[in-house]
Amino acid sequence: MRKRRRQPPKKKERLAWAAYLELSDAARWIEAKLRAPLDVFGLSREEFRLMVMLHRDGRLKLSEAEEKLERSRESMYETVQRAEEFGWVRRGTMYLPAAEVRQSRLPKEQRNKPRLGRRVGTIELSPEGERLIGTVLPKQEEMLRLFMAELDSREMKSLIRICGKLRREEDFTAIRFGAALIRASEEFDQGEQDGEPEDED
């Protein structure tokens, strides 16, 4: 049986691969350069991102921190627990505003009294954490400024927009990639079967 000729990759696929390699290599290079100041203080990347967010946004609900950092509850718990053990952050609680309820629907003894909503967990920087991030963050920002010196403001905004666009397409891309893998597997299996010699009588 004549073998199928391998089709050359399309131009867009070659460009996509080249773009991926450049993006991946650049991210790894910058990440490696930024690791040194964090290693000096024993900070992981996840702990640093958490502390920067708290430094800029102040006290947050744990659910807000998970959403902003796009982390799972389990992963966030591990990061918070380690940062808390080092004394960089502290957890607390707060009450959400009570839902609006018509006074006439409440028992008489509860009418016109302050009401508390659901209690939720919070996280904020400790004084030690504020001092630490005040030392480390300026160094990181200066290093990033030097690394990005070749890009002007328009290019940096375009880079932010492009990376955000790639991440927003994550679910759609995962579905298409999964489907492509299934098709490739089926084609490979079919090729294996086509290449098997016929049984002789």
pLDDT at 49: 92
Please name every residue paired with 95 in a beta bridge, in sequence order, or none if there are none.
119
pLDDT confidence of residue 50: 93
CA separation for the pair 51, 83 (Å, rounded): 9
* 122, 91 Cβ separation under 8 angstroms: yes
CA gap 51, 79 in Å, rounded? 10
pLDDT of residue 176: 57
For the chain, first and last CA: distance in Å?
A: 19
Q: What is the pLDDT of residue 19?
A: 86
The pLDDT, as a whole number, for residue 34 is: 84
Rounded Cα gap, residues 123 and 61, in angstroms: 6
In CATH terms, 37-97+115-150 corresponds, of 1.10.260.40, 3.30.2310.20, 3.50.50.60, 1.10.10.10, to 1.10.10.10
pLDDT score, position 147: 84
Mean pLDDT split into 10-residue runs, the chain, 201 residues: 56 84 88 84 90 93 88 89 93 76 62 69 94 91 87 89 77 55 66 57 48
- CA 144, 149, 152, 154: dihedral to nearest 10 degrees? -20
Domain edges within the chain: 37-97+115-150, 151-193
User: What is the pairing mode between strands 116-125 and 60-61?
Assistant: antiparallel
